[in-house]
Amino acid sequence: MSYIVCRNCKNYTQVDANAPLVFDKCENCGHTLEFAENDKALQFVLKDIELPKVAYHKICSNCNALNPRETATCMFCGNSSFLLQYDVESVNKYNDRLNDLKDDPSVVVINNPDNPRLSYDNKWYHKLFATVMGIVDFFMFFIIGIQLTIGELPDTANLMGVVTANMYPLISVVLLSLLFAGVLSVFILPKLDLRDAVTVSASVGLVIGFSTLLVNSFILVALTTLLFGFISALGGLISHVLLRSLVKRIIK
């Protein structure tokens, strides 16, 4: 049995199952009407008891850090399991009201309501997605850098000459592309902890470096691969520090 009730003047009517719900203002006092789905909810409204509201921030079950409601993984440790917390002010108001009515037998007391949990099991997918996007970003920055330094690529016969003449600008383009790719691989999604940020961003450089081994297995190419991984990992570290600083500012 459900009701439409006025919290202000305590006037209520039973809902007619064959008629549409009407939430007009109360005819007695003009206050906004509320819906009570059962007798217990009706008593809460009549006794002016408001259940605690869920707060905007949710708590990471791993590191207990506060995260905005929209995040799928913890911005500080990368964990994907959360506890929703109740708004402190509404909890205090709820407890104060119960204390005022504790001698009233018609009041139903709710002790320690369970925290609803949100769980996501796709953390590995986020890491893979961030790595792939980092590789895509590298090639995007690399192509833009090539166009800005040497313009249109020459034909195959003159390619080595152009590369030799522009060796240092091309090296700078590669290194900067790796750095930016490492930054964006962590900055995209999700917000990872320090270890995962370095792992994901380093993977971008290592994949790009290992791809050169398909062309040439010379030892210097292998060392270059390690350098690529280090540069992109440095970008991930920079991104992690920037994100952490930004998140702290937002939460405050």
Residues in a beta bridge with 190 = none
- Cβ neighbours of residue 188 closer than 8 Å, sequence gap 6 or more: 129, 130, 133, 134
Nearest-angstrom CA–CA distance, 52 and 130: 38
The pLDDT value given to residue 122:
42
Contact 241, 56 (CB under 8 A): no
The pLDDT value given to residue 137:
92
Mind listing the pLDDT tens digit of every residue in the chain (252 residues)? 788 888 878 888 887 777 666 667 787 888 778 877 788 777 777 777 776 666 777 888 888 888 887 777 888 787 888 877 666 676 677 677 667 666 655 544 444 444 443 333 446 777 888 889 999 999 999 889 888 888 776 666 666 777 778 888 888 988 999 999 988 888 776 566 778 888 888 899 888 888 876 666 556 666 777 788 888 888 888 887 887 777 666 655
The pLDDT value given to residue 220:
65
Tell which residue, 142, 140, 162, has the closest CA to residue 153: 162
The pLDDT value given to residue 157:
62
Q: Are residues 36 and 57 in the same domain?
A: no
Q: Are residues 209 and 128 in the same domain?
A: yes
Look at residue 89 and give its three-state secondary structure.
helix
Q: Within a 10 A sphere around the Cβ of 13, how many other Cβ atoms?
A: 11
Domains identified in the chain, total number: 3
Q: Are residues 21 and 70 in the same domain?
A: no
Q: Are residues 196 and 163 in the same domain?
A: yes
DSSP 152-180: S---HHHHHHHHHHTHHHHHHHHHHHHHH
Q: Are residues 96 and 170 in the same domain?
A: no
Residue with tokens 């833009």: 144
The pLDDT value given to residue 119:
39
Provide the pairing of β-strand 81-86 with 54-60.
antiparallel
Range of the domain at 71: 52-120
